[in-house]
Amino acid sequence: MSYLDFNIENKFSSQLPKDLEESIFPHQVHSAAFSWVTPKRTSNPQLIASSRDAAAMLGLSTEQLKSDEFLQLFTGNIVPEEFSPYAMCYGGHQFGHWAGQLGDGRAINLAEVNTPSYGHKVLQLKGAGPTPFSRTADGLAVLRSSVREFLCSEAMFHLGIPTTRALSLSLTGDSVVRDMFYNGNAKAELGAVVCRVSSSFMRFGSIELPAYRKDKALLKQLVDYSIKRDFPELLNEYADDPIQRYLAWFEEIAQRTCRLMVDWMRVGFVHGVMNTDNMSLIGETIDYGPYGWIDNFDLSWTPNTTDAQGKRYRFGKQGEISQWNLFQLANAIYPLIAESAPLETILNNYSKTYQQQWHAMMSNKLGITSEAINHKADTELFLALEILLGDIETDMTIFYRLLADFSYNEKVKENNFNHFADCFYLEEQLTIDHQSRFSLWLESYAHRIQQDGKTAEQRKAAMNKVNPKYVLRNYLAQQAIELAEQGDYSKLHELQKVLEKPYDEQIAFHHYSEKRPEWARNKAGCSMLSCSS
């Protein structure tokens, strides 16, 4: 076995300009897409979780996953010369303001490989040490954020949502000092490294930075590389028209971004920090920082303590923010197109496309057939439901699973509210008025599903394919973290197993589908999180 038999093909670092400064210290990197870096050696690495599914994608066997070579390689202790690790240079808008150069501050692209069945993949270590983009930080990561990244990226994949993957989660044996809530209470925590995998880690900010610096040559190189690497079909389709090729590339990014946002809304995921440097050009969920999953349905909820007042990145605003981010990307590629009208057309169509896809998604969640004849009435039904769910604390995930089992008829009309008892958090909120409005909505819904002519079994099967029973609830992740910090990884492994089949009943694991316990309402890590890692 030679370095796990990977077929190395370092296209990004061989086809794009490099930073001429070879020393690793914080500095501005101009006219370059990346800087060479070296992972920091770990003192006593220990593999505590891995994804066999992600490993199989890379052509790795179970035996290789368990090998010491794998452990040393994916904690940065072995760096084969042909791997040529690097950190990417990019900028971004953070909370609506241009932040200048950002870059991979704690991520190191270990190698690019050509996999047997899935094509080009980048292997990236998160928390492997300083880079020129670490600024004043150490480039390391702690166990709590690494557990969250590992579990959530794999959970998203099995939900059927585009995402970076997590191959492995390892302790480093070293401690890392962090101030979790930036309140002067810094402490030493367990250090960890996650190996994550994607076809591309390029972001909106990868294109923005050279545009803001008026470096048109690098801007063109990066866009051309993105097209060649991840959108190769556009090369033949627009072989003689580069401007149309750039527009088609931008439109495809907009389409992928739109589908991603609608998927997030479908399962109740809130990214928490949708800065343009955290938006993937290939439409994947990327950078699992202070994310959160909706327990009680609340369009105004954000999991990010930094966003607690402005709530820029709240649950219900993710579609709008994604369009704003696309506007920044459009501004960045304008020098390659020199005409604003076609870019504006794509951006203006985005809202319409989002509404269409949101409508189709809600139709699927409710188990009804989306038809033009019912479009307006269905939209009113969807919006009325959102108001109803948000008026009192109603668990979104549980509600939709119970709705799939809902059967309405005159004999049980007065008792149908009891069917949904398990999804309500506070009994005192269940006023007569709310129960009355809830029953009226159920009556409207019952009338609508009768129009489709589906059997109850058909509707339930269809709904349960899009409405998960299991999501990575914040309190579950926190429980796994607290046990892992004590050296007990049983909860981590069990959660990983459960989340691999999120739409299945899994009777033995039903307790993982229950609503958030009261003790977790305001507990750190269960309600809101900081960007600290």
CA atoms of 397 and 402, how far apart (whole Å): 9
What would the mean pLDDT of 487-516 be, rounded to a whole number?
98
Handedness of CA 483, 486, 490, 495 (dihedral sign): positive
Q: What is the pLDDT of residue 414?
A: 58
User: Taking Cα atoms as reference points, which of 161, 155, 164 lies closest to residue 196?
Assistant: 164
Q: Look at residue 426 in the predicted model and tell me its pLDDT.
A: 95
Across 279-283, 301-305, 448-452, which has the greatest mean pLDDT? 279-283
pLDDT at position 228, please? 97
- The reported pLDDT for the residue numbered 407 is 80
Among residues 474, 415, 466, 460, the alpha carbon closest in space to that of 442 is found at 415
Looking at the predicted structure, is the pLDDT value of residue 531 above 80?
no
**What is the model's pLDDT at position 411?**
45
Region 93-100: mean pLDDT is: 98
- Token couple for 142: 């702690």
Active site residues: 277
pLDDT in tens, 207-261: 999 999 999 999 999 999 999 999 999 999 999 999 999 999 999 999 999 999 9
Longest CA span, the chain: 77
pLDDT of residue 370: 81
Residue 489 has pLDDT above 90, yes or no: yes
Q: Give the residue-averaged pLDDT of 265-272.
A: 98
Please tell me the least confidently modeled range out of 140-144, 516-520, 525-529. Answer: 525-529
Q: What is the mean pLDDT of residues 378-393?
A: 97
Q: What is the mean pLDDT of residues 376-392?
A: 96
- Give the tokens for residue 40: 């920091």
81-108: average pLDDT: 97
* Banded model confidence at residue 116, pLDDT cuts 50, 70, 90: confident
Cross-strand partners of 304 = 529
Q: Which one-letter amino acid corresponds to residue 153?
A: S
Give me the count of residues in the chain: 533
Burial call 361-380: b when 16+ CB within 10 Å, e when fewer: bbbbbbbbeeeeebeeebee
Least confident among 293-297, 421-425, 446-450, 498-502:
446-450
**Reduced to 3 DSSP states, what percent helix, strand and coil does the chain have, rounded to the nearest 5?**
50, 15, 35
Extents of the domains making up the chain: 3-201, 205-363, 369-453, 474-520
What average pLDDT does this structure show over 475-479?
Answer: 97
Contact between residue 51 and residue 154 where contact means Cβ atoms under 8 Å apart:
yes
Listed residue (526, 532, 95) closest to 313, CA to CA: 95
What pLDDT is attached to residue 532? 61
pLDDT tens for 410-456 read 544 556 778 899 999 999 999 999 999 999 999 999 999 988 888 99
Q: What is the pLDDT of residue 298?
A: 97
Q: What is the mean pLDDT of the chain?
A: 94
182 touches 524 (CB < 8 A): no
SS3 (DSSP) at 194: strand
At 341-356, the pLDDT tens digits run: 999 999 999 999 999 9
Euclidean distance between CA atoms 100 and 89, whole angstroms: 11
Digit-coded pLDDT (tens) for 59-72 = 999 999 999 999 99
Estimate the crossing angle of helix 143-158 against helix 474-484, to 10 degrees. 130
CB 421, CB 392: distance < 8 Å = no
